[in-house]
Amino acid sequence: MEKQKIVFLCHVSNPEVRAHLDLHTYPLRRFVYKMKGGKTLYEDFAIWVTDYIEEFEKHPEYEFHIVAPHWGMKRNRQDYDQNGIHYHFFKCNKGVVYTFFDKSFHLEEQNNFANNRKKIAAIMAGISPDLVLMCGAENPYYALGVLDIKDKPVYVILQTLLNDPKRIEAGLATPYKRKMELEIFRHARYFCTSGEKDINKIKEVNPNAVILPVRFPSHRPVVEIPEKKEYDFVFFAMHIAVNKGIEDVLKALSLVKKNKKDVSLNIIGKCPQEYKHFLDNLVIDLGLETCVHFSGFYQQIQETFENVVKARAALVPGITTVNSTVRESMYMGMPTIVYDLPGIQAINKEQHCVFAAEVENVESLAKQMLFVLENPEQAQQVAANGKAYAERVYSNAAIVDKLLDYCRQIVEKEV
């Protein structure tokens, strides 16, 4: 019996991937980047994709092909095999001059990333997959590749919803990206999401959509927990933005400071210069100059986690969705303070696992922060409950087993 061929269309970068790719060193760019405090040009991202792939490796009954863009490649395409998985990377950036004009005039958007789509189509033609599993409809520079797949089933894993009213209100993403997200919703047939807002938006533009929900994988950090803590709280995210709750965190911290003058917060993550300037001013306005430390962004995810655990508790109050940082904090056994979104209610249903404040209620958030500081033994018990919950429920093996079972059912139905 022939193996089912599954293409996983995504983007990803990790040390193992970069070790196989022939990448430019960009000496001048590297020098400028270091002058700005950076360490390397190439950083880890989409760690959940790495988690998916690690589980795919345990399923030799399928033939997996990873199709992904990568910045900085010397050649237009590079292919290699590792641990039974076939990798196909294509170059997604051009020269400095083109890049400048692209950022200024959005050249790639004007043609819906036609060049990337041609590369994806060529790779797909060589594979002839039975199913295309695509992760991240909000990333048009590769996600639009599914629009050219007419004769094979497409199963879309939703990472986030750009057309969420709260994201639109916060000015996140661009009208173009939101428009292209809806184009993908119209084109695909199968979707992996359990979010009510996600499902409603998909069904609004595609009444025939089939929803096959599976939980998102969770990266399990493996770190040594230091006995001596450097900060009371840590806020961390890949990209620091208003929807992650950072402004509410700072406002709540100013309330906590009234009871604990020396309270401290470490902020970790990538932040656009303009928004960082806004946050710096907010810190000054709130009188938190001695309380807040911006660590910036760590290129290696392991380094991020090693700095996260230097704090007593994690503050990750996303206002639109339960971010992966919540699960990661629980895995690390940290008291985790969040907003009481529907996903959090499910976590706390049987046992107190995370500290939940009323959504977008700064006073409620500050109250939870004070409780954690003033009741360390109870906070640690809740953290222990959260870690046990994460280890029991967030099993990547079970998640991917279910996902692949859906893939098998789709292929058998479509044949």
pLDDT tens, position by position, 183-205? 999 999 999 998 889 999 999 99
Q: What is the pTM (predicted TM-score) of this model?
A: 0.85
pLDDT recorded at residue 81 = 98
Structure confidence at residue 34 (pLDDT): 64
Q: Binning pLDDT at 50, 70 and 90, where does residue 244 land? A: very high
Q: What is the pLDDT of residue 93?
A: 85
pLDDT of residue 96: 67
| Rg from Cα positions in the chain | 22
pLDDT digits (tens, 9 = 90+) for 99-125: 766 777 788 888 999 999 999 999 999
The pLDDT score that the predictor gives to residue 108 is: 87
HEC letters along the chain: CCCEEEEEECCCECHHHHHHCCECCCHHHHHHHHHCCCCCCCCCECHHHHHHHHHHCCCCCEEEEEEEEECCECCCEEEEEECCEEEEEEECCCCHHHHHHHHHHCHHHHCCCHHHHHHHHHHHHHHCCCEEEEECCCCHHHHHHHHHCCCCCEEEECCCCCCCHHHHHCCCCCHHHHHHHHHHHHHCCEEECCCHHHHHHHHHHCCCCEECCCCCCCCCCCCCCCCCCCEEEEEEEEECCHHHCHHHHHHHHHHHHCCCCCCCEEEEEECCHHHHHHHHHHHHHCCCCCCEEEEECCCCHHHHHHHHCCEEEEECCCCCCCCHHHHHHHHCCCCEEEECCHHHHHHCCCCCCCEEECCCCHHHHHHHHHHHHHCHHHHHHHHHHHHHHHHHHCCHHHHHHHHHHHHHHHHHHHC
Q: How far apart are CA 244 and CA 323, in angstroms?
A: 8
**Percent above pLDDT 70 for the chain:** 95
pLDDT tens for residues 314-345? 999 998 888 889 999 999 999 999 999 988 98
Nearest to 336 by CA among 271, 245, 214: 245
Contact 312, 233 (CB under 8 A): yes
Beta strands 77-82 and 85-91 are antiparallel
Tens digits of residue pLDDT in 271-320: 999 999 999 999 999 999 999 999 999 888 999 999 999 999 999 999 88
181 burial level (CB within 10 Å; 0-12, 13-18, 19+): buried
Mean pLDDT score across all residues of the chain: 93
* pLDDT of 33: 62
pLDDT surpassing 60 at residue 76: yes
C-beta of residue 329 within 8 angstroms of C-beta of residue 349: no
Q: How far apart are the first and last CA of the chain?
A: 15
Q: Give per-residue pLDDT as tens, 348-391.
A: 998 999 999 999 999 999 999 999 999 999 999 999 999 999 99
Assigned token pair, 368: 């939870």
Distances (CA, A) of 27 to 15, 39, 93, 175, 182: 20, 13, 17, 35, 40
Range with the largest mean pLDDT of 24-33, 43-52, 255-264 = 255-264
Does the pLDDT of residue 42 top 90, yes or no?
no
Give the integer Cα–Cα distance in Å for 345 and 17. 37
| pLDDT of amino acid 43 | 86
Q: Are 180 and 201 in contact (CB under 8 A)?
A: no
Pairing type for strands 62-70 and 131-135 reads unpaired
Ordered by where they begin, the domains of the chain are 4-217+396-414 (3.40.50.2000), 231-393 (3.40.50.2000)
**Nearby residues of 259 by Cβ (< 8 Å), 6 or more positions away:** 370
Distance CA 110, CA 115 (A): 11
Looking at residue 51, its pLDDT comes to 95
- Taking a C-beta distance cutoff of 8 angstroms, is the pair 266, 310 a contact? yes
* pLDDT at 67 > cutoff 60: yes
